[in-house]
Chains A and B, each alone.
Chain A
Amino acid sequence: MENTKDKRLKVYKSYGREGRALNGKEILEILPIRLRQIFSNLPNRFIGDIEEIRLRVNNPLIINCQGEDFFLTEKGRTSKVKHEVIEINRDDIKTCFQLVTDYSAYALEEEIRNGFITIKGGHRVGISGKTIIESNRVKTIKNISGLNIRISKEKIGCGEKVIKHILKGSDSIHNTLIVSPPGCGKTTILRDIIRLISSGSNKYNFKGINVSVVDERSEIAGCYDGIPQKDVGIRTDVLDGCPKAEGMLMLIRSMSPRVIATDEIGRDEDIYALQEAMNAGVKFITTVHGDSIEEVSRRNRINSLIESKVFKRIIILTNKPKVGTVKEIIDLSGNSTLNDELLLDRRDDYGT
């Protein structure tokens, strides 16, 4: 781990202060000049902690840190006084959108239709504005009025606290469901689990196995130009931007995976595809929104999967006391809880 830390610090140094504050220069590069200056004067406590930057026309610039909103002044200080706070105008949004799309909105028609764009580094930018509808389908978004820059955090090592409960022998895993409310590090932990399964782990004497990822929203691997920007392991195949159900079936046929990983299942066809995968002898890891197992069970489709004991492990995440905390790991085959205390992410202060 020490090595990675050194490497990271070196990279941060070359980015300068503003780069550190934003977890790399990719975010800085998509901001218009006027806003770049603000981020070069940010207070130390924000460095590496910013989760979202929100730009809305005629509204203040808001950054979100650890679930809390902050307004910024021209000098990069936080403030609550209205006339000090920097206001976003239409030109800022226009320029920012051009930088996000690399001046090529025409090449990203499909992404704009879906409402977000994945940029270099795997960060995602959500778009809102006036939608144009053609034959009951969103054709494009024009007059863009709001951008939400979500800085993706890659926490290498955050899956280690749960991985020993997922592994089964030296070359297989238990079917696992990760349950979490939005913004609790669901995707982050899924990504790290994928990395560990795919690359293998000496500590648990686990050989790496082939993992296929259906990354419908380009969140898990953060593909840019088709290449994963995140470390998802050496034996991982990523199908980027593909609908989950279709993607799972495609991968079973073409890539012969031992494990399939997807994010946020819920639709009928997803469940069907999962069952198909199970019949083909493929293990899977997936996630679902929810607070507790009771809440998830209220959804019929998921409940049928839980009742029929398809899942062997359920991991429940929470953001208390901080993002990425594991509340519970449930062993469904024995109906027991595997951990007796909260598993905090000890690497939270890491690299900052």
Chain B
Amino acid sequence: MVLKIIIVIALLLSSWAIGYLVALRYSLRVKQLGYFIGALNSLETDILYYSTPLPVAMKKVAGRSHKSISWIFDDAWKKLSERTGLNIEETWRMTIEENIDYLSLSKDDIEIIIDFSKELGVGNKETQKKHFKYTQELLMEQKIEASNEKDKNGRMFNRLGVLLGLAMVIILI
């Protein structure tokens, strides 16, 4: 009898946990998009108002942004200051693609973030300002979409996990 109860509880807990983890991905995406928008803001400030060279600006941003994305900027700083002979787009793409597993972002989000590097640092401040604004708007839209999805799917997966667990318990008993 005791064994049965333990199995039932374990089953319930694990199916709830699976549902929770799936739902967590949705909420992490919203959070990470938010962090990215913040980091780009801070990068923009460094570029437009302090004229900080890009590699140094990356390092500064790494120090200021949330730890779940700061390593990207840290990595980019290291790669840029090594003077490998790659252009900014290749360097940034490499950084993101090497570490894509650590990001909870969708394919579209990643594409926007990679495309962002195409014009980064090129041209004068005026064009940089426009470019930052454009990328931030795109990310903002993604964030709204992600937050809708989180409300819809996140809650669903949370409940689905528990319900699935219950269903299995009933069938097994």
Contact = CB atoms under 8 A, between A and B. Distances in A.
Nearest to A91: B87
Contacts of B83: 29, 99
B123 A142 contact: yes
Contacts of B122: 98, 105
A322 to B, nearest CB: 33
B87 A109 contact: no
Interface in A89-115: 91, 94-95, 98-99, 101-107, 109, 112
B85 A36 contact: yes
A106 B51 contact: yes
A98 B90 CA distance: 12
A105 B86 contact: no
A31 interface: yes
Given A32-B85, A33-B84, A103 B125 contact: no
Contact of B53 (A29, A104, A140): A104
Contacts of B128: 106
A103 to B, nearest CB: 4
Nearest to A97: B122
Contacts of A139: 124
B87 to A, nearest CB: 4
Most buried by B among A31, A107, A142: A107
Nearest to A108: B51
A94 B85 contact: no
Dominant SS among interface residues on chain A: helix
A105 B123 contact: yes
Nearest to B120: A103
Contacts of A31: 85
B54 A103 contact: yes
B47 interface: yes
A252 B33 CA distance: 56
B11 interface: no
A104 B48 CA distance: 11
A106 B125 contact: yes
Contacts of A36: 85
Dominant SS among interface residues on chain B: loop
A96 to B, nearest CB: 9
Contact of B85 (A33, A106, A112): A33
B86 A33 contact: yes
Nearest to B127: A106
Contact of A103 (B48, B85, B121, B124): B121
A103 B88 contact: yes
A103 B55 contact: yes
A99 B55 CA distance: 11
Interface string B59-76: 000000000000000000
Interface string B111-128: 000000000111111001
B124 A109 contact: yes
B80 interface: yes
A200 to B, nearest CB: 37
Interface in A1-43: 29, 31-33, 36
Given A104-B121, A105-B123, A140-B123, A98 B88 contact: yes
A29 B47 CA distance: 23
A95 B87 contact: yes
Most buried by A among B53, B121, B124, B128: B124
A105 B121 contact: yes
Contacts of B55: 102-103
Contacts of A29: 83, 85
Interface string A26-64: 000101110010000000000000000000000000000
Contact of A140 (B48, B51, B120, B124): B124
Contact of A107 (B53, B80, B85): B53
Nearest to B121: A103
Contacts of B121: 98, 101, 103-106
A102 B124 CA distance: 14
B52 interface: yes
25 contacts: A29-B83, A33-B85, A33-B86, A36-B85, A94-B87, A95-B86, A98-B88, A101-B121, A102-B55, A103-B54, A103-B55, A104-B47, A104-B52, A104-B54, A104-B121, A105-B121, A105-B122, A105-B124, A106-B47, A106-B121, A106-B128, A107-B52, A107-B53, A109-B124, A139-B124
Interface of A: 29, 31-33, 36, 91, 94-95, 98-99, 101-107, 109, 112, 139-140, 142
Interface of B: 47-48, 51-55, 80, 83-88, 120-125, 128
Given A94-B87, A103-B54, A109-B124, 4 more contacts: A32-B87, A95-B85, A104-B51, A106-B51
In the A-B complex, the 8 residue pairs with the closest CB atoms = A33-B85, A103-B54, A95-B87, A107-B51, A104-B53, A103-B121, A29-B83, A104-B54
